[in-house]
Structure 1
Amino acid sequence: MQSSRNGSRMLSSSSRRLAASACALALLAPFAAFVPGAARAGETPALDGTRAPQALLTHDDARVVVALFSLPGCPYCEVVRRNYLRHLEATLPGVRVAEYGIGDERPFECRGNDAAPKNPAALAKSLGIRVAPTVAFFGNDNRELAERLVGYNSPDFYGAYLDAGIASALTRAGEKKSE
């Protein structure tokens, strides 16, 4: 009789530990999306967002930063990232691409200057960006060079809007360099 009581106590203790572990995992799972470089199954890995836009413009022939402001798990952000932005740096000279999490408070590796926002969340807040996806086109000093693309509502026209924004930004960046 004594051994069956000890066995049920051990089982009860093991069950409690297992339940506590399951609860802990359930509570922590939503935060997995904030792990740098983490992508959910079927998602394209996030674009680099470790450097501020101004810092990206110090490289080579960079004149414009196309920045995606996103949220973890946002299906529209995934479409924009995968279908429209992933290939841009390889196909458009003078363009750099970055992705900034609207709620990401990890500090930038390189900000460009002391007055620049310290992290992606501060950058988004300073620009009034609260909707994901938002694509912004930056030139020198974090100045926007073209109209933002806010949201994703039409796969038929999004590519054309993006191309027009990039062309406008490159033109304005060229004007600024010649001044």
Structure 2
Amino acid sequence: MIGRRDAMLGLFIGQATGAWAMQAQALDASEQLLPTTDDLQQSLAFATRQGQPLVVLATLHGCPFCKVARENYLFPASKEGAVVTQIHFLSRMPLRDCAGRATSHGQVVKDLGIGVAPTVLFYGRGGKELAPRLTAGSTSDFYGAYLDERLAQARASFQSTN
């Protein structure tokens, strides 16, 4: 039989562990700037209705380069009309992939062979990648130019398939 002290200790440890797990899963303020999708197929359909490719940021919680890419480049692009969402490395959050299969964020990152955070992907109809992936990040002035180039390429490819 469990004594009162042992039960209280177990309750405390359980609450502390649960609070830590919740805190570890919580998105920081920067990560909340862009929507986190739970359905890539639905996000892609929305982007298509807007006449845009879907821009997907594969991000890692706590990654300083992801933060720079998100805050300085992708968030402003979303304000200018780009349809941008994010998926999270290592996350077990449920996600439907571009084919509609139930999986998780982390598994989609793995299935796509993404090994570097941040990675930006550009999708068109049917989940087809329309431009080369933009991998890694830096505080370099060239990142914005690389993003603009790939976004223009994705938009041109998207328009040519209409």
**TM bracket, shorter-chain basis:** 0.7 to 0.9
Is it true that 1:34 corresponds to 2:25 in the alignment? yes
Whole-angstrom CA distance in 2 between matches of 1:111 and 1:147: 19
> 8 Å contact 1:62–1:96 — kept in the other structure?
no
CA, structure 1 residues 62+126, in 2 after alignment: closer, same or farther (shift >3 Å)?
Answer: farther
TM (norm. structure 2) is: 0.78
Partner SS for 1:98: strand
The Cα of 1:124 is off from its aligned counterpart by 1.3
Q: CA RMSD in A?
A: 2.8
Instruction: Indicate the residue corresponding to 1:155 in structure 2.
Output: 140
Alignment of 1:3-82 (within 5 A): 25=16, 29=20, 32-35=23-26, 38-39=27-28, 43-45=30-32, 47-59=34-46, 60-82=49-71
- Shift in CA distance, 142/90, structure 1 to aligned 2, threshold 3 Å: same
Query: Which of 80, 87, 98 is 2:85 aligned to?
Result: 98
Does residue 122 (structure 1) correspond to residue 107 (structure 2)? The answer is: yes
Structure 2 alignment gaps of length 5 or more: none
Matched, 1:144 2:129: yes
List alignment gaps of at least 5 residues for structure 1.
1-12
Q: Structure 2: how far apart are the matches of 1:27 and 1:155? A: 39
Q: Offset of 1:127 from its aligned partner?
A: 1.2
Matched residue SS, 1:118:
strand
Letter in 2 for 1:101: H
Could you say which structure has the larger radius of gyration? Answer: 1
| Residue 131 (1) aligns with residue 116 (2) | yes
Are residue 107 (structure 1) and residue 94 (structure 2) matched? yes
Runs (4+) off by over 4 Å: 24-28, 110-113
What is the aligned length? 153
**Counterpart residue identity of residue 112, structure 2:** L
1:55 touches 1:111 (CA, 8 Å); kept in 2?
no
Question: Which digits, 9 at most, give the CA deviation of each residue in 1:66-100, with x for residues without a partner?
Answer: 111011111111111111111223313xx310110
Using the alignment, how far apart are the partners of 1:86 and 1:162 within structure 2? Answer: 12
Mapped to 2, the partners of 1:148 and 1:67 lie a distance apart of 10
Q: Is the 8 A contact 1:145 1:172 kept in 2?
A: yes
